[in-house]
Amino acid sequence: MSHSTAPYSDSQFPGSSVEEEAKHSEDALFGHHKDPPVAIQKETPAHAEMIRLRVMGHTIKQIAYVTGYSPVHVGNILRQPWARHEINLLCKELKITSAMEIIERAVPAAALKLIELMDNPCSSDEIQGKNAKEILDRYLGKPKERVEHSGSLDLDKLSDKDLAALLPPTIRPDLDPVSDN
């Protein structure tokens, strides 16, 4: 590779203005600032493409597939202070101002992942079934659960102490009478 690498802790970035801006500026990525294991000193056109794909909502694995790099390398690039700074600038340019907007961009990738896991013959029946159910629940809505009640308990006729006794133990109020002393 044409760019130099070094352990992140031995590079120029820890404590630098670039790192501080990426971590603490008003445009910082919602608290995401895990330091990369290796410092990459210079951005390449491939790195710019990784940044663009990330802002569009693609997963690290998808970006790795498209760019031909390993997922570990893509993750390392996207954690570089200069990459976080570029992601912040691109989000600002695209008027992405909330985590919800980033999540919305990732929805298609998440849906594809559910389908991939459901269709994967290497996935267990449990995983395939869980993902099929998740897709159906998202599309059709979860089925309503029917609650049946038998008996004729008239809550209006119960005392406060009797009503409190019906509550689960974790939310029961103190049943001792309050003294006026």
Task: Give this prediction's pTM.
Answer: 0.48
Question: What residue ranges do the domains of the chain occupy?
Answer: 1-97, 98-141
Sign of the CA dihedral with 23 first, then 72, 100, and 102 last? positive
**pLDDT above 70 coverage of the chain, percent:** 74
Query: DSSP state, 59?
Result: -
How confident is the model at residue 64, as a pLDDT? 95
Decide: 60 and 77 in contact? Cβ < 8 Å: no
Please write the tens of the pLDDT for every residue from 65-102: 999 999 999 999 998 888 988 888 888 888 887 777 77
What residues have CB less than 8 Å from 83, skipping those under 6 apart? 43, 47, 50, 51, 77
CA proximity to 154, closest of 166, 145, 171: 166
Half-sphere exposure of 176 (CA within 13 A, CB side): 3
What residues have CB less than 8 Å from 88, skipping those under 6 apart? 22, 25, 27, 28, 29
Please write the tens of the pLDDT for every residue from 142-166: 878 777 767 777 778 888 888 888 8
Decide: 134 and 114 in contact? Cβ < 8 Å: yes
